[in-house]
Amino acid sequence: MNTIQNIMVCVTQQKTCERLIRRGAEIRDTYNGELFVIHVAKEGDHFLGTSKDGDALDYLFEESKAYGANLTVVRAHDVLETLKKLTEKNNIDLIVLGQSFEKNEKNVSNKLEKQLPKDIEVEIVPIEKEEKVG
């Protein structure tokens, strides 16, 4: 990592977002950058994959606020294209993503990395053991 100015944390599930935001904040603090927490929901889906969107959004807002992050939550037809545009809009240098068990073409991390300029770094945060259960 060279000079990191802006970090984007992509969150999908409520129970995993705190550790991703925490990691983004650690990097931000090291480089004195700015932290953006982004959630893009596919049009027609619940924002965070649950019928309790209000509670989930409150939780996401509170976690982002606790770490001094800017929160953006949007709906979009093309999630990856929207993430790419937000990366450009916010001059992102590093993206923090949670680990995915999807393989090859279905892996969102791989798909996103292929669409990004080569100068944007991506850090994958491994899934913690207690998250695999359930």
Task: Give the mean model confidence (pLDDT) for residues 42-70.
Answer: 80
- pLDDT of 132: 47
- Give yes or no for residue 68 having a pLDDT over 70: yes
What per-residue confidence (pLDDT) applies to 86?
Answer: 95
Q: How confident is the model at residue 50 (pLDDT cuts 50, 70, 90)?
A: low
pLDDT at position 128 is 73
Q: Does the pLDDT of residue 8 top 60, yes or no?
A: yes
64-80 average pLDDT score: 93
Which CATH class, in words, describes the domain spanning 11-128? alpha beta
Average pLDDT over residues 30-53: 79
- Number of alpha carbons in the 13 Å side-chain half-sphere of residue 48: 22
> What residues does each domain of the chain span?
11-128
pLDDT band at residue 89 using 50, 70 and 90 as cut-offs: very high
Provide the pLDDT for residue 51: 58
